[in-house]
Structure 1
Amino acid sequence: MAAPLPTIPARSPRSRRRRVALVAITGVVLVVAIALAVAFAVGQAATAQPPGPGTRIVASDLSAATEAASDAAEGTAEHSAAQYLSEQPTMYWLLPEADPVGVVAERIGHLAAEARAQSARLGVVVYGLPGRDCGNHSAGGLDEDAYTAWTTAIGEALSEASDVSPIVVLEPDSLALAPECGNVADRVRQLSGAIDALASERTWIYVDGGHSSWLAADEMADLIDRLDAGDAIRGFATNVSNYNGTADEIAYAHEVADSSSGLHAIIDTSRNGAGATGEWCNPPGRLVGEPGGSLGDDVIDTNLWIKVPGESDGPCNGGPAAGSWWPESAIDLTRDVVTE
């Protein structure tokens, strides 16, 4: 007779429940891991895209508005205006005077950390080329060797911040002002070098595109095309630090793009809510414009607040030095959106 088969002990109900629980927990862990991986991939893909409608840049605690809000007495018009402006996503201006070569990487690192915390993108203006503003109200900048070192440091730091897909506006007024200053060749050389230093896969660079009341569109396009930047730049920025209405800037940007090699544009709407009077230096009665990320089409990537509302254009119409915080301007610009 064959030997009896060994008896397999029955699993207790408690053992079966434990096994089911372990399987369920493993399944949940796998689902969470997959979801996180998908979310990370989606986030990476989103930040790899060029700016567009819905783009949000960081509202930094390094802004002049934040400092002004902390200095002003609560309950005052000055505090209310500064507090409102400190909360609005606005480009941070990198200046060699405030952010020199030994400091600028740390500054960009701070901005990138803020962008991550806000689920926003890093947005900076690079403003320090030789002979900046042709000696006008925003005069300054670096000599060519120092400018090369400075933009190289910026480019390296932006590359480290690729996860927040930096948006760079490079040297406002530099190209549009060059014919008047008689230094087109110098500007093309300096900007071309800066583009080489700043360019990386996830950095979106926009060069100076003037504005609708300045150079003719074909002349502006020719200046941009002289950079021969190819895919290293996304396009050009218009209306930076000016007040022209959005519709005028959209039309102008389309004309420039049609005359250039397929470039895209962003428009500064930080102070154009009441349109322009033809005056560029602290004209009274202006208003903040559409929030960043409000618009876009096949040429206009989007609009952003590039010039910092509340900072003076220069010592004109009662304003302080260019770039200085001017409480009266902040109050005037926000009068339709801030109530005390």
Structure 2
Amino acid sequence: MTMPGRGRVSARVRPVLATAVSVLVVGVLASAGPAKAADPPHRVDNPYVGAQVYVNPEWADRAAAEPGGDAVAGQPTAVWLDRIARIEGTDGVMGLREHLDAAVAQRADLIQLTLYDLPARDCGRRAPPGELTIEDIARYQTEFIEPIVEILADPHYADLRIVALVEPNSLPNLVVNTGSRYTATPACDEVQARGTYLDGIGYALARLGTVPNVYAYLDISHHAEVGWPEDSGPLTALLYQAATTAGSTVANVHGFVANTANYSVLHEEYFRADDVVNGQPVYQSRWVDWNPFIDEVPYARHLRELLTGAGFSPEVGVIVDTSRNGWGGPARPTGPATTGDVNRYVDGSRIDRRAKVGNWCNQVGSGLGQRPTAEPEPGIDAYVWVKPPGESDGASGSPNTGGPYEPLCDPNYVPPRGSSYDTGAMPDAPPFGEWFPAHFRQLLANAWPPV
């Protein structure tokens, strides 16, 4: 699909199925002749404007095989590079070069890549488990970043705009899960003390910055993790530090991405953060919990303002992942609740139907969000589908199965003290990244706007 917006619109692209990619690529390569140095591509302010964005044929095939899935199978989604083996591809799964060749065959202008393999990723959380230990920063640099950059620098891909989404949820972890926070973990404290994430991200940005057609976007998490005033300042400082570490400069950061693989709505339509109900401010409700932000776009704009004030370019853009934040279906409210109780008012008015705003794993009731589009509203470069809809956030098994266990993916989770906690997670989910048909079908049924 073409992302609407200003600028040129490339040739219409016929769908490319996985079975046809190799034939098309052979034809393209055979006619291309020997590789030669290409002129540096023209940099643009917003890479999504006028761009035909790559449709991953592997995801498209899975989506089209589900009932009604062909209605969205042509949407562009990001390609996740979440371990070293993903670069070359394994077990019949396309590698990075195959995706780039397929993008050329599609006559795409832009491809989206998510780099997600830092040492001690997610502070060592077992689900999804990372492959690199805290000692493996050299492996991250030489076996992960360097091969990626070498492939991206191939002159055959010089006409592609390559959007690289760098290490989701890494730096925000160092804000909310370290120090004296009650959520702090020894693993996060150690990662922070060693500078592992700063060194890894700085190195990645510096190397990606050597490829003229790469546009790097740093992850800024979402409003329900780092929206509080005590969080936004430290996150801003960490982002700037990462962008100026290991040989990088802020010039290597083209923008920021919010809500990656999350479920936060773009705009809450039926209540505001400054509403007052029967004399009680909405921010004192259980759901809002003193957060000045209740939705993603205001949060993203606020972070962008802080980041440009800290030294990032005034031209940096922001994109928002809308792959699963639609929250349509019969539970979607149609107006504000009428009640004098602030908690009932918020719970009855909010579009985001999660049991708790911090829940993130295979959420019950979630739906596809806005379709990918360029310049959807002021201050936003694009709505994008970073997380491919239908790919699991993590396995829903119990802690007794012996495999990697993530409490927030367990629909029957009971905290250590025995108090109740509703994770909102769907049952029978497969491990991270595997196809989860029930979730995809739910996302399709609850899409907003409807499919």
Partner of 1:93: helix, strand, or coil? Answer: strand
CA distance in 2, matches of 1:273, 1:54: 25
Do the aligned partners of residues 334 and 102 (structure 1) sit closer, same or farther apart at CA in structure 2, a change above 3 Å counting? closer
CA distance in 2, matches of 1:324, 1:168: 22
Q: Which has the higher helix share?
A: 1
Sequence identity (%): 27
**Deviation at residue 85 of structure 1 after TM alignment:** 4.5
CA distance in 2, matches of 1:127, 1:231: 21
Q: 1:320 aligns to what?
A: 430
Q: 1:264 aligns to what?
A: 317
One-letter code of the match for 1:213?
A
Partner of 2:171: helix, strand, or coil? Answer: coil
Greater RCO between the two (CA within 8 Å, min separation 6)? 1
1:168 is aligned to 2:164: yes
CA distance in 1, matches of 2:376, 2:146: 31
Do the aligned partners of residues 198 and 253 (structure 1) sit closer, same or farther apart at CA in structure 2, a change above 3 Å counting? same
CA distance in 2, matches of 1:273, 1:339: 9
1:188-337 to 2 correspondence within 5 Å? 188-199=198-209, 200-215=211-226, 216-227=231-242, 228=244, 229-247=249-267, 248-260=295-307, 261=312, 262=314, 263-274=316-327, 276=352, 277=354, 278=357, 279-296=359-376, 299-315=379-395, 316=409, 317=425, 318=427, 319-336=429-446
Do the aligned partners of residues 141 and 129 (structure 1) sit closer, same or farther apart at CA in structure 2, a change above 3 Å counting? farther
**Deviation at residue 57 of structure 1 after TM alignment:** 2.1
Instruction: Count residues in correspondence.
Output: 285
Q: 2:61 aligns to what?
A: 66
- 1:279-308 Cα shifts (integer Å, max 9, x gaps): 211111111111112434564221210011
CA distance in 1, matches of 2:61, 2:324: 18
Partner of 1:288: helix, strand, or coil? Answer: coil
Q: 1:123 aligns to what?
A: 112
**Deviation at residue 109 of structure 1 after TM alignment:** 2.6
CA distance in 1, matches of 2:364, 2:130: 26
CA distance in 2, matches of 1:285, 1:159: 42
One-letter code of the match for 1:58?
Y
**Deviation at residue 55 of structure 1 after TM alignment:** 4.2
CA distance in 1, matches of 2:369, 2:159: 29
**Deviation at residue 110 of structure 1 after TM alignment:** 2.2
Do the aligned partners of residues 156 and 115 (structure 1) sit closer, same or farther apart at CA in structure 2, a change above 3 Å counting? same
Do the aligned partners of residues 128 and 271 (structure 1) sit closer, same or farther apart at CA in structure 2, a change above 3 Å counting? same
Partner of 1:122: helix, strand, or coil? Answer: strand
RMSD between aligned residues: 2.6
Partner of 1:86: helix, strand, or coil? Answer: coil
Q: 2:139 aligns to what?
A: 146
Do the aligned partners of residues 225 and 266 (structure 1) sit closer, same or farther apart at CA in structure 2, a change above 3 Å counting? same
Do the aligned partners of residues 102 and 283 (structure 1) sit closer, same or farther apart at CA in structure 2, a change above 3 Å counting? closer
1:81-92 to 2 correspondence within 5 Å? 81=69, 83-92=70-79
Do the aligned partners of residues 330 and 48 (structure 1) sit closer, same or farther apart at CA in structure 2, a change above 3 Å counting? same
Q: Would the aligned equivalents of 1:58 and 1:123 in 2 still touch at CA under 8 Å?
A: yes
Q: Which of 97, 104, 114 pairs up with 2:102?
A: 114
Partner of 1:166: helix, strand, or coil? Answer: strand
Q: Would the aligned equivalents of 2:54 and 2:111 in 1 still touch at CA under 8 Å?
A: yes
Do the aligned partners of residues 242 and 55 (structure 1) sit closer, same or farther apart at CA in structure 2, a change above 3 Å counting? farther
TM-score for the superposition, normalised by structure 1: 0.76
Partner of 1:295: helix, strand, or coil? Answer: strand
Do the aligned partners of residues 121 and 52 (structure 1) sit closer, same or farther apart at CA in structure 2, a change above 3 Å counting? closer
Do the aligned partners of residues 339 and 239 (structure 1) sit closer, same or farther apart at CA in structure 2, a change above 3 Å counting? closer
With 311-320 and 324-333 compared, the bigger mean Cα shift is at 311-320
CA distance in 2, matches of 1:246, 1:54: 23
**Deviation at residue 194 of structure 1 after TM alignment:** 1.2
1:156 is aligned to 2:150: yes
**Deviation at residue 157 of structure 1 after TM alignment:** 1.4
TM-score for the superposition, normalised by structure 2: 0.58
